[in-house]
A and B are shown apart, each in its own frame.
Chain A
Amino acid sequence: MATLNDLQNAVDSLLAHPAGPGSYQLVQPIEEKAYEAYVFGLCLRAVRELGVQPLLRGISAIPTPFVFRGAPGQIHSQYRNYGYASFTLNRHEFEIHAGVEFVGTSEMTHEIDVCIMRAEAAQACRQLPNDPAASSVFGAWECKFYDQSLDKHLARAFVGLTDDLGTNIRLSGFCSNRTHTQMRDYFQPQRRPYPHLLLTPLDPASETRFVGVLSAELKKMTAA
C-alpha cells in the first residue's frame, strides 16, 4: 500500500516546484504573494506619477534582495531584512509595506496585504518595538489572486477590517484577478473599499485606474 510519503514524492516529481521538493503546499501562498508584490509595484508607480522618487529600503540593511514576507508579520521584525518603500510628498513622509500587522480600533490585530502608512508611526514602531495603530494607515489594499470564483465572504471580511481601521484611512481597495458582480455592487456605497476587480497586467486600463485613484488621493491628502 502506498504511504503518505510515496504520495508526497510522486506529487513532488510531478510538480518540480522551483522551491524544491516538498514545497508544493507553498504554491498557492506564493501566487498570492506575487500578486501582492504586483500591487506593491503599482503603488510605486502611483507615487512616481506624482513626480516623486520612492526608495526601496530594508529593515536592517540595503534590500538586496528585496524580501517579501511569506506570511503576515510585525513591522519591527528583524527575522529577515524585509523590504519596504518610503517617499516624501509635500513634506509628508510615507512608507509602503506588504503583509504587516496593525492594531485595529477594537485592539484586534489585522494583517494588511499592501498598505501606505505614515512614516513617523512606522519608525516609532520599529524602535519601540510595537505594532502600528490603525490610525497611521493612509491606504489599505486586500489582494486576492484566485484560480476560481471569489467568495462573497472575502468582501464582507475586508469591509469589516477597514471598518476597524477607524476614520483616518483615506483609501482602501479590494484587488483581484477575478471579478464578481454582487461584490462590485456590495462595494458601491460610500466609504466601502474600491473594487479593483480584474486587476492584472493583461488589463492596462485597470492598472491605470488603480494608479489614478491612488495618486489623486495622495495629492489631495498632502495638499492640505
Chain B
Amino acid sequence: MLVNAAHDEFKQVGLTSPKKLKPVGQSGTSAQGTLELEMELTDEVAEILELERPKAITIEGEPEAVQEKKNLPDVRFTPTDEQQVKSLREIFQTLERLTDFTEAKYGNT
C-alpha cells in the first residue's frame, strides 16, 4: 500500500534534469527557476516532463556508508494491483478473527 501510494503521488509529478549550479553567493531567482515559474503547462510540456506516467522508484540496496560492499541490488518499488491488496486485506481480517481466542466474560468470573 505504501508503494502504491508513493507511486500515485510520483506519477503526477514531472521529471527534469538537475539544477545547474550557479556561483555561490549569487542571490536572486535563477534563470531556470524563473522559466519554471512562467512555463505554461501545456500537453506538450506535460509530455516532456513525463507527467501522468509511472516513475521508476528504487531504494538503494547498499548505501554509500557500507564499508564492505556485497553488491546488493537496489529494491525496486513495484506497484501491486489494488484488487490483490484488497483481497489480501480481507484474508488478514479473517485470520485476525480466527486467531482471537478471547472468551466472552459472563457474570463475575
Chain A residues packing against B (C-beta within 8 Å): 18-20, 22-23, 26, 30, 33-35, 37-38, 40-42, 44-45, 48, 53-73, 77, 79-80, 85-86, 88, 91, 93, 119-120, 123-124, 126-128, 145, 200-202
Which interface class (under 10, 10 to 19, 20 to 34, 35 or more) fits B? 35 or more
CB of B95 within 8 A of chain A? Answer: no
Considering only CB atoms, which chain A residue lies closest to B38 in the complex?
A: A88
Residue with the highest number of chain A CB atoms closer than 10 Å, among B12, B13, B14: B13
Residue with the highest number of chain B CB atoms closer than 10 Å, among A18, A70, A79: A70
CB of B37 within 8 A of chain A? Answer: yes
Within the complex, what minimum Cβ distance (angstroms) separates A77 from chain B? 6
Contacting residues, chain A, for B74 (C-beta < 8 A): 65, 67
Considering only CB atoms, which chain A residue lies closest to B46 in the complex?
A: A53
| Complex Cα spacing A26 to B60, Å | 10
CB of B73 within 8 A of chain A? Answer: yes
Contacting residues, chain B, for A22 (C-beta < 8 A): 70, 72
Additional A-B contacts beyond A26-B75, A62-B16 (7; CB < 8 A): A30-B75, A48-B12, A59-B18, A69-B63, A70-B60, A73-B65, A119-B19
CB within 8 Å for A64 and B56 given contacts A59-B18, A71-B63: yes
CB of B33 within 8 A of chain A? Answer: yes
Contacting residues, chain A, for B88 (C-beta < 8 A): none
CB within 8 Å for A65 and B17 given contacts A48-B12, A91-B29, A93-B29: no
CB contacts under 8 Å to A, within B1-17, are 1-6, 8-10, 12-17
The answer to whether B14 and A124 touch across the interface, beta carbons within 8 angstroms, is: no
CB within 8 Å for A202 and B1 given contacts A19-B75, A30-B75, A44-B13: yes
